[in-house]
Structure 1
Amino acid sequence: MDIQPFYDFFDCCVGEWVTERTYHYLTHQEVERSRTEFAVAPITRDLKEKVLSDNQYGEVEDIDTMPGFRLGFHTVSETGEEVSQELRMLFVPRLTGDGFLEGDYLRDRAYEEAKPIISHFRFGLHHRELLMTTRYTQVVSVDSITLVNPTLRIRRILNYQRPPVDHAPLETVRLAGFGVEQKQP
């Protein structure tokens, strides 16, 4: 199976982006808008190995071919609240089949919890959608990025109440977020 669209997706993601998002907090019926400016840049082999080490992941083959990035962002909500963060991430492909590529998505710092974390990803080779699932302590975050064209992405974020059993169905949505992300010249 040709997985080149996976690498093409990440090539398009490198650069400066601006996103306008709307968050729907279903736990307390609130809607909030925010604007985020972020930059994505490739990382070196040494930093990829550090992300593996931070997550106690072990050795992997072909690390040089794995997409690894530095993500820095600054978000300002409509209420004036500001959040900035920088992290490093690595995508470790594992399985292919039926037009999808799956694997692990490692970060040296998670969004919800300030620690290294291993998540699962699934990439649709035909429709260019990256679906990332992260199991935090309180929530399970399902984040989708669809690459419409090299300068436009659509983002969807669903945070579910984490069920008491790890593989139970995700049913209670706590937050739904939607965004339009545009690459800057």
Structure 2
Amino acid sequence: MLSFPDFFTACTGRWQIDRTYHYPPTGAVERSHTNSLIQPISGAAKENLLSRLTATGLQVEAEKVVSAPLCPGLTILFHTESESGETRTMNFQALFVPDWYILDPGYYATLQQQIPAIASEETDASQSTISGYYLRDEGYSEKGAVLGRFHYHLHRQSLTMTTFYLQSIAVDRMEMATPATRLRTIVSYQRPEQSIPPTQIELIGFGMERKQVL
């Protein structure tokens, strides 16, 4: 089993990703191929992301977050080509902060009311699950920084990330099948106006990700 920080260490490196996307509203199906490079970020980059996180209203134990191995940060560069010929290149950073470093979530405590059932946050006395907040300095479907909730399950070696965009809610689950193979599922919902879990699915994606030996 991979501990929480070991999971993120295992995620670093170069990956080749093949995905299939389904769009239920139209019935369309699309395939894509992605090359991705994932690396850990520096302490200075953590501080920068943390300042953006606290600007959202969350209060955190800043010094511990910057130095703690249980607060991993990654920089992710990827280039995607779809079978239709469209391309997308992004380079963004993400910081993960477990709940025990959160002093006050402020307004964002209400986010949990909109977490879909497939991303429900299980907890147990054995501490085999870890939940918290994460920040991306650039979103995928909308520009600008985005905030989300994450949930790591030790025994399944899986990380579930629920990202709250203005118009949608995306649930992204990553499972480490082997040290060099990840399985990925992505479900994007239309975000409801009320503080209730979403039900209208806009996209479902499935992927296999293979780590490249340098």
Both proteins in one fold, TM over 0.5: yes
SS at match of 1:126: coil
SS in 2 for 1:53: helix
Matched pairs, number: 182
Give the superposition deviation at 1:164: 1.5
One-letter code of the match for 2:97? V
Q: For residues 18 and 85 of structure 2, what CA distance do their matches in structure 1 show?
A: 14
Cα offset for 1:54? 2.6
Q: Give 1:174's match in structure 2, choosing from 186, 196, 202.
A: 202
SS in 1 for 2:3: helix
Provide the rounded CA distance (Å) in 2 between the counterparts of 1:126 and 1:148: 12
Cα distance change on mapping 1:43 and 1:77 into 2, 3 Å: same
Aligned pair partner of 2:154 in 119, 125, 143: 125
Aligned partners of 1:52 and 1:58 also within 8 Å: no
Instruction: Give the superposition deviation at 1:53.
Output: 1.7
1:102-138 residue CA offsets vs partner (Å, 9 max, x unmatched):
0011111111111111110000011111000011111
| TM-score, normalised via structure 1 length | 0.93
Rounded to whole Å, the distance in 1 between the matches of 2:168 and 2:23 is 13
TM-superposed deviation, 1:182: 0.3
Q: How does 1:44-123 map to 2 (within 5 A)?
A: 44-55=42-53, 56=55, 57=58, 59=60, 60=62, 61-64=64-67, 65=69, 66-95=71-100, 97-98=123-124, 99-123=128-152
**Residue 153 of structure 1, aligned match among 159, 179, 182:** 182
The answer (yes or no) to whether the contact 2:2–2:157 under 8 Å persists in 1 is no
Cα-to-partner distance string for 1:46-83 (whole Å, 9 max, x where unaligned): 10111122332555224222211110000000011000
Identity among equivalent positions (%) equals 39
Between structures 1 and 2, the one with greater helix share:
2
Corresponding residue of 1:21: 19
Instruction: For structure 1, list consecutive stretches of 5 or more residues without a partner in the other structure.
Output: none
Report runs of 4+ in structure 1 exceeding 3 Å deviation: none
TM-score, length of structure 2 as denominator length: 0.81
Q: How many angstroms apart in 2 are the aligned matches of 1:37 and 1:58?
A: 36
**TM-aligned CA distance change 1:45 to 1:58, over 3 Å:** farther
Residues 120 and 133 from structure 1, CA distance in 2 versus in 1: closer, same or farther, beyond 3 angstroms? same
Contact 2:80 2:88 survives alignment (8 Å): yes
Name the structure with the higher strand share.
Answer: 1
Matched, 1:34 2:37: no
Query: Mean Cα displacement is larger for which, 52-61 or 83-92?
Result: 52-61
Which runs of 5 or more structure 2 residues have no equivalent in the other structure? 101-121
